Amino acid sequence: MKKLFVSTTIFLLGMGAAQAAPALGMTWAVGGEVNMYSSDKPYALAANFIYDIQMSNKWSIGAKLLYAHDLVWVHTVEAGVLIRSYYYNGPRVHAFLQFEGGIGILFSERTLASTAVGGISFGFRAFMGANKNAYIEPYVRAGYPYIYGAGLNLGFNV
């Protein structure tokens, strides 16, 4: 009986710790954003894909691919890496600060150019469902060359 009590206690404590910590592992997300990638218009529409690996409850690293179009002239493809710090880990919501860097390729009818891309994002991940596999992620970002952006990602833990 004592073994059963000890085993049950260890199991329940382990389950409690697993519920308190964010889900570790890989995440995939797709999303959309509005940003300023053009001098002709104050906004461009974008779609992105993000993959990241949580290294701990506080840090993750990953990759991001984004396509933006200002609906007039400029098309942009942005590829880069990200480092994310979770500075608040609540039971259903995790706030983050994300640093991004990479390369951007800008093209229009007449020009093709590449540039370094760098920036910072702030947002939060709100988990949906009892098992916290799916989430939504609103964010805002600032950097170069896009100046500003705001968007929403939909993702899941793998």
Tell me whether residue 33 is in a domain: yes
Tell me whether residue 79 is in a domain: yes
pLDDT tens for each residue of 63-95: 999 999 988 888 999 999 999 999 999 889 999
Find the CATH number of the domain harbouring 41.
2.40.160.20
Domain that holds residue 68: 24-157
Total domain count for the chain? 1
Give the predicted TM-score (pTM) of the model.
0.80
Tell me whether residue 71 is in a domain: yes
Tell me whether residue 5 is in a domain: no
Residues whose CB falls within 8 Å of the CB of residue 34, separated by 6 or more in sequence, listed in order:
43, 44, 45, 46, 149, 150, 151
Give 38's pLDDT tier (boundaries 50, 70, 90): low
